[in-house]
Amino acid sequence: MKNIFKIRLTIICCSFFLFMSVLCLVGLPSPEAAHGQFAEDAISKVKESVMSYFTPLSGSVEGSEDGQVKLSIHDGGIPKKGMRFSVYRKGDPFYHPVTQELIGNREDHRGRIEVIEKVGTTNIYTCKVVNGDIQKDDIARISASKIKLAFFQDRKADWLLSETFYKALKDSGRFDILETYTPTYNPSDLANLARELGAEAVLVLSTPVEAGRKLMKVRLYWVNDAGMFAAIEEELAEGYVKAIKPEDDLISVQLIDTEPWGSYDLADGKLIAVGDVDGNNRDEIVISDGTNITVYDFQEDLRELWSIQGDKSGRHISLDVLDLNKNGIDEIFITSVDNGTEIRTDDIQRSRDGMSIQSFVIEYDAAEGYRTIKDNIPYFLRVNDDRLFMQGFHRQRIFDGPVWQGLWSDGDYRTDKTVSLPAGVNIYGFTFVDWKNQGQVHIMSFNDTGYLTLYDANGETLWKSENSYGKFDTSFETETQSVAHPEKKWAVRGRLMAVQTSRGQEVIALKRVPIVAQVPGLGPKGAEVSALWWDGDVMDETVFLSGVSGNITDYWLRGSRLFLVARGSVFSFAKKAITGEFAKGSMLYYFNFTKK
**CATH label of the domain that carries residue 167:** 3.40.50.10610
338 burial via Cβ count (<10 Å: 0-12, 13-18, 19+): middle
Q: Tell me whether residue 14 is in a domain.
A: no
CATH number at residue 478: 2.120.10
**DSSP string covering 504-539:** EEEEEEEEEEE-S---TTT-SEEEEEEEEEE-SS-E
The confidence band for 40, taking pLDDT boundaries of 50, 70 and 90, is low
Q: Do 63 and 184 belong to one domain?
A: no
| Residue 23, number of CB atoms within 10 A of its CB | 10
Q: Tell me whether residue 23 is in a domain.
A: no
Q: Do 264 and 343 belong to one domain?
A: yes
Q: Do 522 and 586 belong to one domain?
A: yes
| pLDDT for 487 | 60
Q: Do 478 and 565 belong to one domain?
A: yes
Q: Do 494 and 572 belong to one domain?
A: yes
Which of residues 91, 112, 142 is at a domain's end? Answer: 142
Q: Tell me whether residue 420 is in a domain.
A: yes
Q: Do 174 and 120 belong to one domain?
A: no
Nearest-angstrom CA–CA distance, 277 and 263: 22
Q: Do 160 and 135 belong to one domain?
A: no
Which of residues 208, 243, 278 is at a domain's end? Answer: 243
| pLDDT for 348 | 42
Number of domains in the chain: 3
Position with higher pLDDT, 121 vs 306: 306
**Residue span of the structural domain in which 156 resides:** 33-44+147-243
Which of residues 87, 122, 142 is at a domain's end? Answer: 142
| Residue 569, number of CB atoms within 10 A of its CB | 26
Question: Which candidate, 269, 253, 271, 249, places its Cα nearest to that of 261?
Answer: 253
Q: Tell me whether residue 13 is in a domain.
A: no
CATH number at residue 91: 2.40.10.170
Q: Which helix (H) or strand (E) holds 576?
A: helix 573-579
Q: Tell me whether residue 52 is in a domain.
A: no
Q: Is the pLDDT of residue 357 over 70?
A: yes
The confidence band for 182, taking pLDDT boundaries of 50, 70 and 90, is confident
Q: Do 405 and 430 belong to one domain?
A: yes
Q: Do 264 and 336 belong to one domain?
A: yes
Q: Do 63 and 204 belong to one domain?
A: no
Q: What is the pLDDT of residues 132-157, one digit of tens each?
A: 999 999 999 999 999 999 999 886 67
- pTM comes to 0.57
Q: Is the pLDDT of residue 4 over 80?
A: no
Q: What is the mean pLDDT of the chain?
A: 81
| pLDDT for 521 | 38
Q: Tell me whether residue 448 is in a domain.
A: yes
Q: Tell me whether residue 67 is in a domain.
A: yes
Q: Is the pLDDT of residue 350 over 70?
A: no
Q: Do 309 and 401 belong to one domain?
A: yes
| pLDDT for 339 | 56
The confidence band for 207, taking pLDDT boundaries of 50, 70 and 90, is confident
Q: Do 322 and 394 belong to one domain?
A: yes
Q: Tell me whether residue 25 is in a domain.
A: no
Task: List CB contacts of 267: < 8 A, sequence separation 6 or more.
Answer: 289, 585, 586
Q: Is the pLDDT of residue 494 over 90?
A: yes
Question: Can you tell me the mean pLDDT for 15-31?
Answer: 42
Amino acid at 333: F
| pLDDT for 5 | 43
Nearest-angstrom CA–CA distance, 80 and 341: 69
Asked whether the beta carbons of 444 and 429 are under 8 A apart, the reply is no
Question: Can you tell me the mean pLDDT for 449-464?
Answer: 94
Q: Residues in the chain, how many?
A: 596
Question: Can you tell me the mean pLDDT for 12-33?
Answer: 43
The confidence band for 32, taking pLDDT boundaries of 50, 70 and 90, is very low
